[in-house]
Amino acid sequence: MVKDWIRNGLAWLRTRDLRLLAALAVIGGLLLVFLEIAEEVRERETQSFDEAILLALRDAPDDPIGPPAFENAMMHLSALGSGVVTALIVLIATGFFLLAGRRRYALLLVACSAGTGIAMWLLKGLFERPRPTIVEHIDPPGGLSFPSGHSMIAAALYMTLAVLIARALDQRRLQVYVVSAGAMLALLIGFTRVYLGVHYPTDVLAGWTLGLLWALVCGLVVHWLGKRGVREAPPPAPECASESTNE
């Protein structure tokens, strides 16, 4: 009885895309992690942890660790997750995909960015968590704190772009490098928000979690498009180029 059940289960798995099942499992896990963080934040169970981390990154409440040049570097890096910079990146990347004949990629990127922005706006209004007051803000913030918009946008946008770029690469090590670079960029931007004192660590953790979740969803859409054979080929070369090749 048990052997038959195991045999049937293995047969079912062989007919399925294990990577798809794994991605769905990770998405479910990320959702549970976010809900747990959100519940702890709502009950203020994380307040002492959040404040301890903020103070650990400072010699004094108004003086972050490190020289002034390091503080300036953190501010510049943080801007990579701002609405203006990410909107510009989306605009440039969307134009590239359209010119390359990848209309579905362009639509996917716009949907990813728009979906992240809408989710961030709704969640900030739902939780209404104020910005940290235990330390001085180095980068003047605006709006509410939970989840971190910079972290969420960075994780969703840069990871989605990394997945799209990796799909165009043939070598495995290049694919791993691109995806790793996207992940490191998202992690770095999130760290700057805590260092600058404008977000609690749990704000950033929640932002990373939701951003990665959304990036995985977008990656699944790309995978589904590829399975259906709708990865558009680049536009054909001009006739003059083909004629000159034949001569």
pLDDT in tens, 14-49: 555 566 677 778 888 889 999 999 988 888 888 999
Instruction: Decide if 10 is inside a domain.
Output: no
Amino acid letter, 144: L
Question: Do the domain assignments include residue 11?
Answer: no
Look at residue 152 in the predicted model and tell me its pLDDT: 93
Q: With respect to residue 73, please indicate whether it lies within any of the assigned structural domains.
A: yes
Instruction: Decide: residue 231, CB within 10 A, 0-12 exposed, 13-18 middle, 19+ buried.
Output: middle
33 falls within a domain: yes
CA distances from 132 to 32, 37, 80, 83, 150 (A): 25, 17, 21, 21, 16
CA R_g for the chain: 22
| Domain ranges, residue 47 | 20-233
Q: What are phi and psi of 116, to 5 degrees?
A: -65, -45
Q: What is the dihedral of CA 182, 183, 189, 194, to 10 degrees?
A: 180
Whether residue 199 lies in the annotated active site: yes
Q: Give a yes or no: residue 241 inside a domain.
A: no
Which one of the listed residues 76, 137, 199, 223 is annotated catalytic?
199
pLDDT tens-digit profile of 139-183? 776 788 899 989 999 999 998 898 888 888 888 899 999 999 999
Catalytic residue among 76, 137, 150, 223: 150
Q: Specify the number of domains making up the chain.
A: 1
Specify whether 137 is catalytic. no
Q: What is the pLDDT of residues 51-93, one digit of tens each?
A: 999 999 888 888 888 888 998 999 999 999 988 899 999 999 9
Residue 204 CA to its chain's centroid (Å) = 12
The answer as to whether 96 is a domain residue is yes
Q: Model's pTM, two decimal places?
A: 0.78
